[in-house]
Structure 1
Amino acid sequence: MGILNVTSDSFFDGGSYTNPQSIVKQCEKLLSEGADIIDLGAYSSRPGAIDISESEEIAKISSATEIILKHFPETIISIDTFRAKVANAGIAAGAAIINDISGGDLDDKMFETVANLNVPYILMHMKGNPQNMQTQTSYKNITTDVNLHLSEKIAKAKSYGMNDIIIDPGFGFAKTLEQNYELMNHLEMLHFHNLPILVGISRKSMIYKLFNSTPQEALNGTTILNTIALQKGAHILRVHDVKEAKECITIYQQLNSTAVK
């Protein structure tokens, strides 16, 4: 899953893809490097992110989706949003998946909307919202608590008739650096749900803060953690750098193909 942010506020590439030409160029790059899905976001979810209006988010998502599909009509697009009306607009414009960082917590119409749209739904763990989530990092046991939260949300989603669900443990969302690594260390425990697992750790602070560096210097750490995530059974890697992630996947698959059965 290649990340395409059309916001000026993203922690890594904010402001880089805000006009049609730059959107097309970046999408072409991601697809040529092997992206299977383009994850399109217009609302930054970084800690302390600027809040934008629903109408602005809808306008950006709808426009970018139409631009991408005009130039690359076979593209599978996921809409990164926690707002039901944005989700609806994105699917109406031609997107195929909803990626909700809040797991339905920030819009009580989200589950009903996704069920009516009958599209796959990525359900992520987070507490609070992007503006206050880093003040909500109290857990008895991070892995157990995340699993319990996901179990409750999965049950609720299914009660609305949603069956095509992907889970995301939410690395970097309402979690300290140490909690992120503890969760990664026990990622295999999420297979309890028998659902596909998405991992999104690309250039996040759990990497660059460990080395007192920057997101721009976090590609090597991203590659290492993506490899570990694959070893622990992750099904989808959400990344800024598709070429490097595809190389991780190819090497991992080659190792598995030569393993003694």
Structure 2
Amino acid sequence: MRPGAVALVTGANRGIGLETARQLALRGAVVLLGSRDPGRGADAVRSLGADGAGIRPVALDVTDPDSVTALAKRLDRDHGRLDVLVNNAGVFLGATAADTTAELTRDLLAVNVVGPVAVIHALLPLLRRSPAPRIVNVSSTTASFGLTCAGADLPGDASVRMAYTASKAALNMLTVQYDLAFRRDPELAHLKINSASPGWTATAMNGFRAPRTAAEGARSVVDLATLPDDGPSGGFFDEHGALAW
């Protein structure tokens, strides 16, 4: 990643998003920490102390078109480009298959799938201006068809994550389709987009029940956000390498 790269991390006032912002800032990036609540975003930056020196909180609700448009205009005005976009904002709404409703599924898709599409669409003109643009979609190992169909013992409570895993599988397909489209566009062929699995990480989303720390969970995200020019695109990775779709 080039010194002074401009990075946006959505849903970053806590957990993996906050740690991703911290690690990118320590690598020399100017990081915009997206948060629906500006106050919580500012508190999150302050909580990092000296590590938050390169991080600026910004208001962003990925489900609100006006919020997304306003941030795109601010980025254009203040920086004129975007080098790294981390689509980290996400929600988990647990329910058994029998209790999974259309409303719950729509709420999950609005944040986990439609949100990244809205943000990418609004910020793509700024990413085009970057010499080395990177997009990372934060997914989940539980979204893997290959592992799930093979009967892999994936962490967490499988009985209540049907809609969540479906939303992350949809996000993975978006990663593939965006990559195919970018490769065909001479102005975007240098843009790398990948899905990252942080692994089962202790966050508020799971009641901090997981064994991995936020710092560990952010590794794969940061690695993909800072890929060299010969790095992969259109893949699904954790910190150890490629994952089965």
TM-score interval for Structure 1 and Structure 2 normalised by the shorter chain: 0.3 to 0.5
TM-score normalized with structure 1 length: 0.38
Report the TM-score when normalising by structure 2: 0.40
Q: Report which structure shows greater RCO (CA 8 Å, sep ≥6).
A: 2
